[in-house]
């Protein structure tokens, strides 16, 4: 009998099945962990790409807002008119699509545009602009918000959507103060 036990050349079917069962108990949870990790890395990469695109867009917008006389050249003097409401510092093309072009309001042919795109085809970019967003806000005494009438504020909101759901938002305030008007060197009632 001792000779038969020492003379084993392989494993039995039962031993093989038991080994496979033990191996599967280890590999199945490990595979789940790896799958979750891969999804997490993909989501983090997409978020980093979105934030990078938003930061590049913001840098361009700030650069445009600091150009000399950019506000005067786009008709910001017409405060309260319909032109005032339509004219914005930035020109946006293809708002709400995968690729968006941004340039300044004086670039009628989009010759100086910069294009932005998130590598994920499911992500769309939107840009909203609003001038002096707090002008209509009322105080506790039900009076309109008093603001420095020599300053233009352009609020720009950049947001990204994936399948119709907002996944990231960045808002910036672009300000311009006309020091000549503030110091009384330019006539008028102080409004743009």
Domain boundaries, the chain: 35-182
Q: What is the pTM of this model?
A: 0.70
- How is residue 159 written in tokens? 């947001």
pLDDT score, position 190: 47
pLDDT score, position 139: 57
Query: Of 44, 40, 72, 34, nearest to 178 (Cα)?
Result: 72
Give how far Cα 3 sits from Cα of 7, 8, 14, 34, Å.
Answer: 6, 9, 22, 47
How does pLDDT run along the chain (192 residues), one tens digit per residue? 455 556 567 788 888 888 888 888 888 888 888 888 888 888 898 899 999 999 999 999 999 888 877 776 666 666 566 666 677 888 888 866 778 999 988 888 899 999 998 888 888 899 988 877 655 555 555 655 555 556 778 889 999 999 889 999 999 988 877 666 666 665 555 444
Q: Where are the alpha helices (DSSP H) in the chain?
A: 2-6, 13-65, 70-73, 82-86, 179-182
Task: Give the separation between CA 4 and CA 86, rounded to whole angstroms.
Answer: 96
Beta-carbon contacts of 93 under 8 Å, excluding residues fewer than 6 positions away, are 100, 101, 102, 110, 113
């Amino acid at each position: 009998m001792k000779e038969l036990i020492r003379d084993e050349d392989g494993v039995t079917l039962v031993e093989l099945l038991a080994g496979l069962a033990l191996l599967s108990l280890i590999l199945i949870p490990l595979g789940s962990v790896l799958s979750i990790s891969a999804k997490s890395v993909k989501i983090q990469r997409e978020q980093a790409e979105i934030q990078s695109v938003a930061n590049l867009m913001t840098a361009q917008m700030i650069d445009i807002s600091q150009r000399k006389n950019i506000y005067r050249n786009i008709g910001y003097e017409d405060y309260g008119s319909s032109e005032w409401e339509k004219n914005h510092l930035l020109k946006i093309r293809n708002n709400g699509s995968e690729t968006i072009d941004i340039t300044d309001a004086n670039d009628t042919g989009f010759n100086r545009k910069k294009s932005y795109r998130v590598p994920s085809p499911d992500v769309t970019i939107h840009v909203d602009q609003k001038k002096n967003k707090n002008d209509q806000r009322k105080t506790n005494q039900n009076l309109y918000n008093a603001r420095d009438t020599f300053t233009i504020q352009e609020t720009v909101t950049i947001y990204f959507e994936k399948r119709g759901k907002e996944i990231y938002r960045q808002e910036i305030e672009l300000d311009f103060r006309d020091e000549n008007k503030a110091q009384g060197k330019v006539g008028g009632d102080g409004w743009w």
